Amino acid sequence: MSLLKIINLHKRFGDLYVLRGVNMEVEKGEVVVVIGPSGGGKSTLLKCINMLEPPTEGKIILDGIDLTAKGVDLNKIRQRIGIVFQQFNLFSHLTALENITLPLRIVKKVPKDEAEKIAIKYLRKVGLEEEFATYYPHQLSGGQQQRVAIARALAMNPELMLFDEVTSALDPERVKEVLNVMEELAREGMTMIVVTHEMGFAKEVGDRVVFMDGGVIVEEGKPEEIFTAPKHPRTREFLSMIL
């Protein structure tokens, strides 16, 4: 059984029709890379998956549970889905360490000293030494902030990780350090949906590439298929523009 199943997902913002029937399945341990032009609904898709944006129509099924059903404890479900945003969204009034311990403590009720141990462990995992633990977000570089954000999501021990253009706001020389963390995560078997413009990453790490445009999945397939022999003209056009 697939870990995630998206069935006929529609999303409207008032008159704006952003998602027009998206169907997708993600197996455990799979890395799905989502590409597509701006405004195509990629971010909206990710936010629907963890129900930050409630779908207008359709089903999101995680591990057999329909998240769109009434009475589902979304606060519980969201602990199982980590998301990392383009703008980092670290809590600006908290240190790197506190960014990670706050959700552990108030959501998972982990005691303070244990939460700190977990936080340090994940900061190390994303390549940040203990000295950065006491830094506030504004004292960290973009790449460091994004790695703290990844550590914060991982510390909740999710089964599925969503990445929304996490390197787009970074200086070019900082992109690699974040991509490396994601690559390692993929190697360890994490199930991931990655929205990105980093085609190198898509080719090397992605198990499957999904091209989204106009609120639908236009084409999907193995990276080598999509990148070398795209079937759909819109995919070809998009790839010729960015490659």
Partner 1 sequence: MVGIGQFDFNLFIKILPDLARGALVTLKFSSLSILFGLIIGTFFGIFRILKNPILPKIATAYVELIRGTPLLVQIMIVYYGLPAAGINLPPEVAGVLALSINSGAYIAEIIRAGIQSVPKGQMDAARSLGMSYAQAMRYVVLPQAFRNILPALGNEFIALIKDSSLLSVIAIAELTRTGMQIYAVTFNAWTPLLGVAMFYLAMTLPLSKLVDHFQKRIGGHESP
Ligand X SMILES: Nc1ncnc2c1ncn2[C@@H]1O[C@H](COP(=O)(O)OP(=O)(O)OP(=O)(O)O)[C@@H](O)[C@H]1O
- Give the residues lining the site for partner 1 (CB under 8 A): 47, 50, 52, 75-76, 78-79, 81-83, 85, 87-93, 102-103, 106-108, 136-138, 149, 152-153, 156
User: Strands 31-35 and 4-13, how do they pair?
Assistant: unpaired
Could you tell which of partner 1, ligand X, Mg ion, none binds residue 44, using a CB distance below 5 to 8 A set by kind? ligand X
Q: Tell me: does residue 211 bind ligand X (CB under 6 A).
A: no
Could you tell which of partner 1, ligand X, Mg ion, none binds residue 208, using a CB distance below 5 to 8 A set by kind? none
Residue in 157, 158, 210, 160 with CA at minimum distance from that of residue 27: 160
- φ/ψ of 44, rounded to 5, equals -60, -40
Helical spans, DSSP H, in the chain: 42-49, 74-78, 96-107, 112-125, 142-155, 172-187, 199-205, 223-228, 233-242
Q: Tell me: does residue 16 bind ligand X (CB under 6 A).
A: yes
Applying CB under 6 A, among 1, 38, 71, 241 the residue interacting with ligand X is 38
Q: Tell me: does residue 167 bind Mg ion (CB under 5 A).
A: no
Under 8 Å CB-to-CB from 137, ≥6 apart: which residues? 88, 90, 91, 92, 96, 99, 145, 148
Q: Tell me: does residue 44 bind ligand X (CB under 6 A).
A: yes
Closer residue to Mg ion in complex, CB, 43/167: 43
How many C-beta atoms lie closer than 10 Å to residue 1's C-beta?
9
Under 8 Å CB-to-CB from 74, ≥6 apart: which residues? 51, 67
We find the least distance from the C-beta atom of residue 189 to ligand X, in angstroms, to be 27
Longest dimension (CA), the chain: 56
Q: Tell me: does residue 240 bind ligand X (CB under 6 A).
A: no
- φ/ψ of 18, rounded to 5, equals -95, -45
Q: Tell me: does residue 21 bind ligand X (CB under 6 A).
A: no
CB 118, CB 151: distance < 8 Å:
no
We find the least distance from the C-beta atom of residue 74 to partner 1, in angstroms, to be 8
We find the least distance from the C-beta atom of residue 11 to ligand X, in angstroms, to be 8
Q: Tell me: does residue 43 bind Mg ion (CB under 5 A).
A: yes
Give the number of residues in contact with ligand X, rule: CB under 6 A: 11
Q: Tell me: does residue 40 bind ligand X (CB under 6 A).
A: yes
Closer residue to partner 1 in complex, CB, 88/201: 88
CB 128, CB 148: distance < 8 Å:
yes
CB 31, CB 77: distance < 8 Å:
no
We find the least distance from the C-beta atom of residue 179 to Mg ion, in angstroms, to be 18
We find the least distance from the C-beta atom of residue 14 to ligand X, in angstroms, to be 7
- Residue ranges that bind ligand X, judged by CB under 6 A: 13, 16, 18, 36, 38-44
- Residue ranges that bind Mg ion, judged by CB under 5 A: 43
